[in-house]
Amino acid sequence: MKQIIQIPSKSSISISKFNINKTLYFDCDFNLSRKSLKTNSTKSFSPENSPVTFRNFITYSTHVNQNEFKMIDNKFYVSSVSFVSKNNFLGKKISLNTCNIQGNKTSSKYSSNSYYEYPNKKSNSFYIIAR
């Protein structure tokens, strides 16, 4: 059974019902039990030796009668796997003080919010927390 999803112009849809990989990657040279959790290390792969490869097909039409279809075929592979310590992954903690003055109140009140800079975060990556 084919599923047809109609998406109005100037809008988008997110489909996330498929899992790529639920497990961590290990081999004899790249083993978390032998690594210091304070030391970062990376292993790189080519399309031929990647532990995870996948592809997707998207068929779409911009016509109401849906007789003219175009297809997108994407191939992906994991190009690298890294062990990154929690401190290195989170990066520096940044604190912000926000002024909460409302109306004509003379006493200023600040709220403090903090976040991490996440220097290793990339839009083309996914992350699994090793426990």
- Looking at the domain assignment, is residue 100 inside a domain? yes
* Total residue count of the chain as it appears in this document: 131
Residue 71 lies in a domain: no
Residue 94 is assigned to a structural domain of this protein: yes
Q: Collect all residues with Cβ–Cβ distance below 8 Å to 87 and sequence separation of at least 6.
A: 38
**pLDDT recorded at residue 111:** 74
CA–CA distance, 82 with 44 (Å, rounded to integer): 9
Q: Give domain status of residue 48, yes or no.
A: no
- Give residues with Cβ within 8 angstroms of 60, minimum separation 6: 69, 70, 71, 72
Are residues 81 and 102 in contact, defined by beta-carbon separation less than 8 angstroms?
Answer: no
User: What is the tally of structural domains in the chain?
Assistant: 1
Q: In the prediction, which pLDDT does 106 show? A: 53
**Which stretches within 44-102 are classed as H helix?**
86-90
Residue 130 lies in a domain: no
Distance CA 27, CA 50 (A): 12
Structural domain for 97, as ranges: 85-122
The CA dihedral of 113, 119, 122, 123, to the nearest 10 degrees, is 20
Determine the 3-state secondary structure of 57 from DSSP: strand
pLDDT < 50 regions, the chain: 1
In a domain, 21, yes or no: no
Residue 107 lies in a domain: yes
